[in-house]
Amino acid sequence: MKEKIKIKLKISQNNHKGPNFRVLCDDTVLDECVNYKEDMYENSFELDLDKGKHQLVLEHFGKHPRDTDSVAKQDVAVQLVDLTFNGVKCDPVDLHENYFYPTKWPYPLELKMKNNLYFGYNGHYRYCFETPSTGWVLGQKKKHQKQLSEIEDFQISEDEFISRLETHIKKESNLVLSQGNTDL
Amino acid sequence: MMYPPAAPAVIKSVLTANYFKCRARDFVSDFYYSFKDHPDWDKIDNWNALPNFNNPAIEKIITDKVELWAKELIDLRSRWIGISIFSYESHKIGKLLAEQIKIQDSTQKIFMGGNGVTNVNNHYPESLKEQGIIDAYITGEGEVSVVEFAKNNYDHPGINKKNFVKIEKSVIDDLPKPDFSDYDLSLYGKNNLGVYGDLNQRKDSPEGKDLYIENDLTLPITGSRGCVRKCSYCDIPFLWSKYTHRGGFEVANEIIEKTKQHGIRKFHFTDSLLNGSMKEFRIMCEILAKHNTDTGDNIVWSGHAIFRPKGQHTPEDWELMARAGASVLEVGFESASDDIRFSMGKKYTNDDIEYELSHCSKNKITVFPLMIVGYPTETEKHYDEYKDFLKRFHPYAYDKTILSLELGGTLRIQPNTPDDKNLPKIGVELIPMPDGSRNDLLWWNKNNPTLTLSKRIWRRFKLGQIAKDLGYSIPAERKDLTYLWSVWNQLKDIESKYLYERKNKN
């Protein structure tokens, strides 16, 4: 089935070098950029994917720790801004729930990291999804939707509700009387 | 389910007049007829209105139905599918329909329109568009903008922005008549009629038999836009800054024409108020009264109206209204206290209400008063006045002049209303939701501190009990109870936390 994937990245670069990165779907390289010197990267890919599980991979490579210039506050990195499947944007929480796997870094790092879409180390960010992807993306949005005091059942009698209101009003009376003007 | 939705019929007519093809589909009626006998109908129906009720089993039932709607729409192979969003209550189902369309065909273009995307506190249409669930939205009135939209003029005011402009009277005068030809009109006017269902129960009662009107087909009709008042709680002046009437002659003739065309004799005005211009209103009534007398068609109509200070509606006006077919007038009394009603911008007293009701009673015109409980300045004294008000007017509930009572869901401070602007100046604080957004019901008045959300809801239901004991009918009582129970569960702790933090900060 045809799937249209759009990726948007924010690029960080120092005075000498831009990041190197690849976009892959499963094992297929969709695009590769070396020493990318623009501020943003945006690209769309039309893919024919079998129904099932897949991974969209963003690989950052070829960076050395000294590419980070903390004095000049410059870095070489890519930051995932948006990932869109068939026009529907992935939920930001969902993007943060997927892992980045650092590779080829001279200092010890965790095996995998999440909750950060700024990729300053070398490694792979893997966004796991299923096709058909529109339903998947919308399903993930629903999964991460913030719920406020979900109610399971709303069958309540008027008298019971009034009684609960009275209890609550009693509880809050000190709170409101102590800080309001009752001269009205 | 009293009458078919007007908006798609209007949109169809203007698009057709501009040589675009359009088909209107009412899924509200399909929703109702599909589920009305379902054992979980109450939950299914309430799923729409309650943002924090997302029972998976109920959601599955609704989603299965919406999938079929999506397929039906996609199969029409339209360039655009437009979804009319009437209010907050359409938000969940509107989003679900758009999602299902995108799941089945991600290339299908979708737009939304209606008041539910125009003046709402959350960023409903913006958020759906940003996420790619819809492709466009139209705010404000759609009659002109939908045509510009169809012509790909996406820069037209109101398209994908809230910078809509009010349409001119000359445009309104030239609009084609709404086209109801895509609807199965036999589905309407029979079931789930809300307050109008009460008329059905009058058939055999000695007090009500004169007021009984067979509940057969009803068509919506629009005579005017906007309102002559600028009531503090109301967003109508924001949406239509000036009251504009099509003309009593034109409106009466449209009603007569529709009666001849469809054999329908019941009409419901979608106007904010049908008697805003007494001049045009009298012209309309005179034509309809003459038509009723000459033909025996017995055309009847209902809609929002205003009461006025004693004497402005003359006894002759009331007689004329009755002969013209006035059956139910929905009137916003809003408060039982003169001082609060005046501060809201309503310019009549309880004595004026007495005068108007006496003429309604004499002329067998029924009234559906709309009330607000819990205005920010409402004190114990006003609560007592509410009780007195209910006692004073209960004879009109007994003789069925007051058809039913709407006590509502307590005061909402809506965006783009005078209340939204002015109440903070008298000490009303809008309590932010945890995500920074706001909820119309979540506010607190430091100068009337005991009137918390809980107190407002408590008064609402206590007054409901008193009203019912006095013989008033409150058809929306169960719905209000369900809604406010849900809302209270959602908001009460947010309010308490706000007040607690406020106290400790001070």
Query: Residues B190-215: pLDDT tens digits?
Result: 776 666 666 666 566 655 555 555 55
Give me the pLDDT at residue B320, please.
Answer: 97
Q: Is the pLDDT of residue B232 over 70?
A: yes
Q: Which of B52, B434, B445 sits opposite A150 (nearest CB)?
A: B52
Instruction: Tally C-beta pairs within 8 A across A and B.
Output: 128
For B51-73, what is the mean pLDDT? 94
For B470-495, what is the mean pLDDT? 92
Q: Is the dihedral of CA B478, B479, B483, B486 positive or negative?
A: positive
Range with lowest mean pLDDT among A172-181, B255-264, B341-350, B469-478? A172-181
What is the distance between the alpha carbons of residues B382 and B104, in angstroms, rounded to a whole number? 55
Chain A residues near residue B484 by CB distance under 8 angstroms: 161
Cis peptide, bond prior to residue A132, ω within 30 of zero: yes
Q: Who contacts B366 (Cβ-Cβ below 8 Å, separation ≥6)?
A: B199, B211, B327, B328, B329, B360, B400, B401, B402, B403
What is the distance between the alpha carbons of residues A133 and B342, in angstroms, rounded to a whole number? 57
Give me the pLDDT at residue A68, please.
Answer: 93
CA angle B76, B261, B14 (to 5 degrees): 45
Q: Which of B449, B481, B500 sits opposite A158 (nearest CB)?
A: B481
Give me the pLDDT at residue B479, please.
Answer: 87
Chain B residues near residue A89 by CB distance under 8 angstroms: 130-132
Q: Are A89 and B488 a contacting pair at CB < 8 A?
A: no
For B230-252, what is the mean pLDDT? 91
- Strands A118-119 vs A123-131: parallel, antiparallel or unpaired: unpaired
Of B211, B506, B201, residue with least CA distance to B367? B211
Q: Is the dihedral of CA B203, B206, B208, B212 positive or negative?
A: positive
Q: Are A184 and B447 a contacting pair at CB < 8 A?
A: yes
Eight-class DSSP state of B313 = S
Q: Which residue has the tokens 């967003």?
A: B235
Q: Is the pLDDT of residue B163 over 70?
A: yes
Identify the three-state secondary structure at position B35. helix
Q: Is the pLDDT of residue A177 over 80?
A: no
Chain A residues near residue B503 by CB distance under 8 angstroms: 175, 178-179
Q: Is the pLDDT of residue B247 over 70?
A: yes
Please list the residues that pair with B367 across neighbouring strands: B329, B402
Which residue in chain B is spatially nearest to A168 when comparing CA positions? B454
Q: Is the pLDDT of residue A182 over 70?
A: no
CATH hierarchy code of domain A2-144: 2.60.60.40
Which residue in chain B is spatially nearest to A176 when comparing CA positions? B449
Helical ranges in B296-367 per DSSP H: 315-324, 338-344, 350-362
Q: Are A141 and B496 a contacting pair at CB < 8 A?
A: no
C-alpha A74, offset from chain centre: 23
CA distance B70 to chain A (A): 14
CA distance A9 to chain B (A): 17
**Global ipTM:** 0.87
CA distance B456 to chain A (A): 10
Of B492, B495, B318, B464, residue with least CA distance to B401? B318
Beta strand segments in chain A, E: 2-12, 20-25, 28-33, 40-48, 52-61, 77-85, 88-89, 99-102, 118-119, 123-131
What is the distance between the alpha carbons of residues B334 and B313, in angstroms, rounded to a whole number? 20
What is the distance between the alpha carbons of residues B238 and B141, in angstroms, rounded to a whole number? 12
Give the pLDDT band of residue A125 (cuts 50, 70, 90).
very high
What is the distance between the alpha carbons of residues B121 and B437, in angstroms, rounded to a whole number? 8
Give me the pLDDT at residue A33, please.
Answer: 97
Give the pLDDT band of residue B417 (cuts 50, 70, 90).
very high
Within a 10 A sphere around the Cβ of A28, how many other Cβ atoms?
A: 11
Which residue in chain B is spatially nearest to A157 when comparing CA positions? B481
Helix (H) or strand (E) holding B14, with range, is: helix B6-17
What is the distance between the alpha carbons of residues A129 and A52, in angstroms, rounded to a whole number? 8
Chain A residues near residue B60 by CB distance under 8 angstroms: none
Helical ranges in B263-333 per DSSP H: 278-295, 315-324
Give me the pLDDT at residue B212, please.
Answer: 55
Give the pLDDT band of residue B365 (cuts 50, 70, 90).
very high
Chain B residues near residue A150 by CB distance under 8 angstroms: 52-54
Is B143 within 8 Å of B12 (Cβ atoms)?
no
Higher pLDDT, A150 or B11: B11
Chain B residues near residue A172 by CB distance under 8 angstroms: 452, 454, 496, 499
Q: Which two tokens stand for residue A14?
A: 């120092």
Range with lowest mean pLDDT among A163-167, B239-243, B440-444? B239-243
Give the pLDDT band of residue B234 (cuts 50, 70, 90).
very high
Q: Is the pLDDT of residue B121 over 80?
A: no
Q: Is the pLDDT of residue A148 over 70?
A: no
Give the pLDDT band of residue B104 (cuts 50, 70, 90).
very high
CA distance B238 to chain A (A): 30
Q: Are A182 and B449 a contacting pair at CB < 8 A?
A: yes
Q: Which of A134, A165, A183 sits opposite B454 (nearest CB)?
A: A165
* Among A4, A133, A172, the residue to mutate for chain B (most B Cβ within 10 A): A172
Identify the three-state secondary structure at position B51. coil
pLDDT tens track for B373-416: 999 999 999 999 999 999 999 999 999 999 999 999 999 999 89
Higher pLDDT, B151 or B219: B151
Within a 10 A sphere around the Cβ of B46, how many other Cβ atoms?
A: 20
For B79-89, what is the mean pLDDT? 94
Q: Who contacts A37 (Cβ-Cβ below 8 Å, separation ≥6)?
A: A11, A13, A18
Give the pLDDT band of residue B291 (cuts 50, 70, 90).
very high
Q: Are A181 and B106 a contacting pair at CB < 8 A?
A: no
Chain B residues near residue A141 by CB distance under 8 angstroms: 131
Is B215 within 8 Å of B264 (Cβ atoms)?
no
Which residue in chain B is spatially nearest to A135 when comparing CA positions? B103
Q: Is the pLDDT of residue A179 over 90?
A: no
On average, the pLDDT of chain B sits at: 92
Residues of A with CB under 8 A from a CB of B: 4, 84, 86-89, 132, 134-135, 138, 141, 146-152, 154-156, 158, 161-162, 165-166, 168-169, 172-173, 175-184
Chain A residues near residue B500 by CB distance under 8 angstroms: 175
Q: Which of A135, A165, A173 sits opposite B103 (nearest CB)?
A: A135
Q: Is the pLDDT of residue A29 over 70?
A: yes
Of B353, B298, B360, B350, residue with least CA distance to B323? B298
